[in-house]
Amino acid sequence: MKYVLFIATDPAGEHTDENPEAWAEKWNGRGVRLEGMPLRPVEETSTVRFRAGEVLVTEGPFAETAEWIAGYDLLEAADLDEAIEVAASHPMATGGRIEIRPVEPLDHGPDTADVPHEGDAPTSRYLAIMRTDPAAPPYTPEPAAVAAWIRDGLASGRYVGGEHLSPVEDATLVRRRGGELLITGGGYTDVPEWVTGLVFVDGGREEALEYVGRCPMARSGIVELREFWTDFG
């Protein structure tokens, strides 16, 4: 089963000298970790909504929280217990906090498959983090509209792939404090705007903003556009 790890900051985290690259190599070698990338600082986020027929772009994250996503990893684990073992051994379980979310595969129909890739960099410049928005007008995206948006993104090179996640009620939070492993239910931070999925978006910033602004999910939710921490030349 696939799981996404949200690697999050935590002001209450403890110092650690553990090497995250060694952690990645260990779980890559066991075939459990499929990919992962760090994200640039949350201050560089662009937040996108579509409301009343207009695309609204604001600079900064959707909310001011002390805990924010610093990166993600995708696992293919036997079960939740193995996913917890992987998360618990990550240096950020000590220095921050890690949310484990099961992936819920969705079939959007013909010609909507993710772009094949190998290794950590999924050939995209941005990660679009899809969130709920309790304050948004009621709107249910039509599956056909989502499929059309994906196909358009594949044709233009904007869409590279994505993961739909199970509800936040299924999340598991992992931390190490004072040498003790803490495992609780819930997300990395307590907000009503929880993450519903991830989309990998390529291109320049304006191109990426234009593409996610047309995302059907932006009508009823929030899209945070975060750049990966890597050099795209």
Number of domain units in the chain: 1
Decide if 233 is inside a domain: no
Decide if 99 is inside a domain: yes
Structure tokens at 147: 């499929």
Decide if 189 is inside a domain: yes
Decide if 217 is inside a domain: yes
Could you read off the pLDDT of 11-62 as tens digits, one per residue? 999 999 999 999 999 999 999 999 999 999 999 999 999 999 999 999 999 9
Decide if 232 is inside a domain: no
Decide if 64 is inside a domain: yes
Decide if 205 is inside a domain: yes
Decide if 126 is inside a domain: yes
pLDDT attached to residue 232: 42
The CATH number of residue 126's host domain is 3.30.70.1060
Which residues constitute the domain of residue 80? 2-227
Instruction: Please provide the DSSP assignment of 13-54 as one string.
Output: -------HHHHHHHHHHTT-EEEEEEB--GGG-EEEEEETTE
Could you read off the pLDDT of 195-219 as tens digits, one per residue? 999 999 999 999 999 999 999 999 9
